[in-house]
Structure 1
Amino acid sequence: MKKNLVSIITPMYNSGKFIKDTIDSVLSQTYKEWEMIIVDDCSTDISPEIVKSYVDTESRIKYIRTDKNGGVSNARNIALKNANGQYIAFLDSDDIWDKEKLEKQINFMKEKDCAISFTSYELIDEENKRLDKIVRVVPSIDYKTLLKGNILGCLTVIIDKSKLDFEIKMSGVRHEDYVLWLSILKRGYIAYGIDDVLAQYRKSLTSLSGNKLKSAMWTWNIYRNVEKIPLYKSIYYFINYGINGIKKS
C-alpha cells in the first residue's frame, strides 16, 4: 500500500461514448498521486481502443480486460485486488469528476482523520447537459441513518484503507456499493460529507439504478437477507427509504 496514492476503481462495459470524458476528468486532477485501474468487462465497442490510446502515454492508467463478462461487482473487485493506493476512489466509466475533487477530498479526510467520505454531485444526461439536479450531502452519517437511504454517491466516495482492518470487496448483491458502505459503517465508522459539487453523475437511459421498482426490491433484499434486519425494523427503514427517495428525485 503506497501512502497518499489514490487508486481509482473504474469498471467499463461498452462506454465508447463516455470513457474519454471520464479519463480526461482524472487527468485534469490537481492532485497528482493517483492510479486509474480500468477493468474492461468484455466490451464489444470501441472503448478498449480509446483506453489503450491513453495507456500508451500515461503510466498511471492501468487497463485490465476480463476473460468473460462478469458484471460490475466482479470488475470492481478485480480493480480492488490490483489497487496499490492508501485511498480507494470509485469512478464509473460514464461519470466525471471536478478537477479539484481529489485534492479537496483528500485534504478533508486528513483534517477529519476519517476512513470514508463523500461529496455532493450533480446529474447530467448522455449529451453532457446539466439536468438542474444536485444531490446534496449531510455533514456526517452513521449506519442506522444510512439504512434509511443511500445518499453516498458511488462516484464521490473515497475510502482510506489504512484505517480499516478488513478487505474492501464488492458483494454480488445488487446495490453492491450500498452494501459496502453499510458494511463499513456497521463497524462503527462515520462517513463524512463535503457539501461541494465535485462530480457529475450521468443519468443514462440504460442506468441500472434508474429503475425505481427494481431499486426498491434490491434495497428490501439488503435489509432482510444481507443485513438480517427483523421484519418490523425493515418496514420502518423501507418507509424512510421511500420518503428519502421522493425527496431525492
Structure 2
Amino acid sequence: MSSSPLVTAVIPAFNAESLIGEAIASIRAQTIDDWELIVVDDGSADQTLAAARQAAGDDRRIRLIRFDRNEGISIASNAGFDAARGEFIARLDSDDRALPTRFAVQVDAFRENRRLAAAGSHARVFGDGVPDGSIAYCTLGDADLKARLFEGFNTLSGGTLMVRRSFVREHRIRFDDDAGSAEDLDYAMSIMVAGGQLANVDQVLTEHRDHSGNFTKTRVDLARPGLRKFRCHVLAAWYPGLAARDIELIVAMWERFDPPFTDTFLNTMRAVDRLVVANVMDFGQNTSIVPGVVVDRVGYLANHYRDHLDVSAIQAARSYVSPPVRTALDQSGF
C-alpha cells in the first residue's frame, strides 16, 4: 500500500457486528484499488471489532481504530478523517454498502471541477418492507444543494460523502463533536462557508439500508434536536442580522406548536416576515429557496391550526407583513 492512496474510506461503526462485514466487502470490491479503509469501532458493546477484523482478512489496506467507550459518530468520523492519507476521503455508514464504481465516479467529478470540495450521490434504499428499486434522489447543482441544506432531506448524505482532503485540512473543517445528529449537514455547511463547492453525482453510488436499528428511528431524542440545532446554525450564517429568537421561531415551525396558538403563530409570522426582507449572506446558495420554504411553511401552519387561531387577530396583522407572507395567508383562507 502506498503512503498516500488516492482514496481513504472511513466507516464509523457502533454495535454493527451483523452488518460491518458487508460494508467492508463493498469497499474491497471497488473498481479502483488505490484506497485505504479506516474502520472506527466507536466503543461497541458487541463483536463489531472482531467482525471487522474477519472481513478485513489479510488486506493491509484496512486499518482499525478502537474506542474504549462510545463517543458518537462525529468524534468517530473525525478520528478516521484525521488518520486519512488519501487525496480524497469518503465516508460510508456501517450499515450501508458502496457500489463498485463509487470511488471512481466521485473521483472523476473532483478531477473535472477543481473547485469542488465535497460530493455525494443518489442512493438505492433497500431493506424489509422497502419496494424494489427505491431510490433516494438528492439535489443537484451547487446553488440549490447549498440552499436545500436547511430542509435537511435529500441533500448531501454523510453515507455518500466524499471530500477533497486538502480543502478540509486547509480550512480546518471537522464534524461537530457535540452534534448528536445532522453532523453531515453541519459539515457540508462549514465547507459552504469556507467557499467550497458542493455537488451530488447524478448516479446511484451507494445502497442505504432501511432497518429498525437506523439511528433516526432508534434515537429520535437525538435526531430531532440535532436537526433543529443545525437549522438554527445555518440560518444564523445566512442571515447574521436576524435575531436569535426569530431564528428559533422559524425553525420551530417544523415541530408542534404550543398554546397559546394565536400568539405563537403571530410571533412566528412576524419572524418569517423579517427573514423575507433581511439581508442575506451569499455563500453561493440559491437565495430564493429558503424564503420560499419558510413562507410556504407558515401558510401550511395557518391552515393546519385554523380552528385554534383568532381569525380577526391574524387578519389585523396582515397589513404589517410583506407580500409573500400575505399571499401565503390568502392561500390559507385568512
Q: In which range does the TM-score fall when normalised by the shorter chain?
A: 0.7 to 0.9
Which residue, 143, 167, 170 being the options, matches 2:172? Answer: 167
User: What is aligned with 1:79?
Assistant: 80
User: What is aligned with 2:276?
Assistant: none
What TM-score, normalized to structure 2? 0.65
> What are the ranges of 5 or more consecutive residues in structure 1 without an aligned counterpart?
244-249
Tell me how far apart the structure 2 counterparts of residues 30 and 225 of structure 1 sit (CA, whole Å): 38
User: What is aligned with 2:139?
Assistant: 138
Tell me how far apart the structure 1 counterparts of residues 217 and 291 of structure 2 sit (CA, whole Å): 18
Contact 2:42 2:71 in 1 (8 A): yes
User: What is aligned with 1:158?
Assistant: 162
Structure-2 change in CA distance of 1:9 and 1:239 (3 Å): farther
Please show how residues 161-240 of structure 1 align to structure 2 within 5 Å: 161-164=165-168, 165-171=170-176, 172-173=178-179, 174-210=181-217, 215-224=223-232, 228=236, 230=242, 231-232=245-246, 235=250, 237=290, 240=293
Structure-2 change in CA distance of 1:69 and 1:110 (3 Å): same
User: What is aligned with 1:15?
Assistant: 16
Contact 2:157 2:185 in 1 (8 A): no
**Matched residue type, 1:42:** G
After TM superposition, give the deviation of residue 29 of structure 1 in Å. Answer: 0.1
**Matched residue type, 1:41:** D
Please show how residues 109-148 of structure 1 align to structure 2 within 5 Å: 109-113=110-114, 114-125=116-127, 132-142=133-143, 143-148=146-151
**Matched residue type, 2:205:** L
Contact 2:44 2:69 in 1 (8 A): no
Tell me how far apart the structure 2 counterparts of residues 149 and 239 of structure 1 sit (CA, whole Å): 15
Tell me how far apart the structure 1 counterparts of residues 34 and 228 of structure 2 sit (CA, whole Å): 39
- Which has the greater radius of gyration? 2
CA offsets per residue over residues 188-217 of structure 1, 9 Å max, x none? 322122111111111121222237975444
CA offsets per residue over residues 83-136 of structure 1, 9 Å max, x none? 111111110111101101111110121012221111110111269x76542111
Structure-2 change in CA distance of 1:43 and 1:220 (3 Å): closer
Structure-2 change in CA distance of 1:168 and 1:205 (3 Å): same
Structure-2 change in CA distance of 1:225 and 1:121 (3 Å): closer
**Matched residue type, 1:198:** L
After TM superposition, give the deviation of residue 157 of structure 1 in Å. Answer: 1.3
Runs of 4+ in 1 over 6 A off after TM superposition: none
Contact 1:95 1:201 in 2 (8 A): yes
Name the structure, 1 or 2, with higher relative contact order (CA <8 Å, separation 6+). Answer: 1
User: What is aligned with 2:44?
Assistant: 43
Contact 2:120 2:156 in 1 (8 A): yes
Say which structure is richer in strand. 1
Please give the secondary structure, in 1, of the residue aligned with 2:134.
strand
**Matched residue type, 1:121:** A
Please give the secondary structure, in 2, of the residue aligned with 1:155.
coil
Contact 1:12 1:40 in 2 (8 A): yes
**Matched residue type, 1:184:** I
Q: What is the CA RMSD across the aligned residues, in angstroms?
A: 2.9
Tell me how far apart the structure 1 counterparts of residues 5 and 80 of structure 2 sit (CA, whole Å): 18
Q: Which stretch of the first structure deviates more once superposed, 25-34 or 198-207?
A: 198-207
Please give the secondary structure, in 1, of the residue aligned with 2:23.
helix
After TM superposition, give the deviation of residue 82 of structure 1 in Å. Answer: 1.1
Please give the secondary structure, in 1, of the residue aligned with 2:213.
coil
**Matched residue type, 1:61:** I
Contact 1:55 1:63 in 2 (8 A): no
Please give the secondary structure, in 1, of the residue aligned with 2:159.
helix
Tell me how far apart the structure 1 counterparts of residues 215 and 156 of structure 2 sit (CA, whole Å): 16
Tell me how far apart the structure 2 counterparts of residues 192 and 25 of structure 1 sit (CA, whole Å): 23
Query: Taking every aligned residue pair, what percent have the same amino acid on both sides?
Result: 24
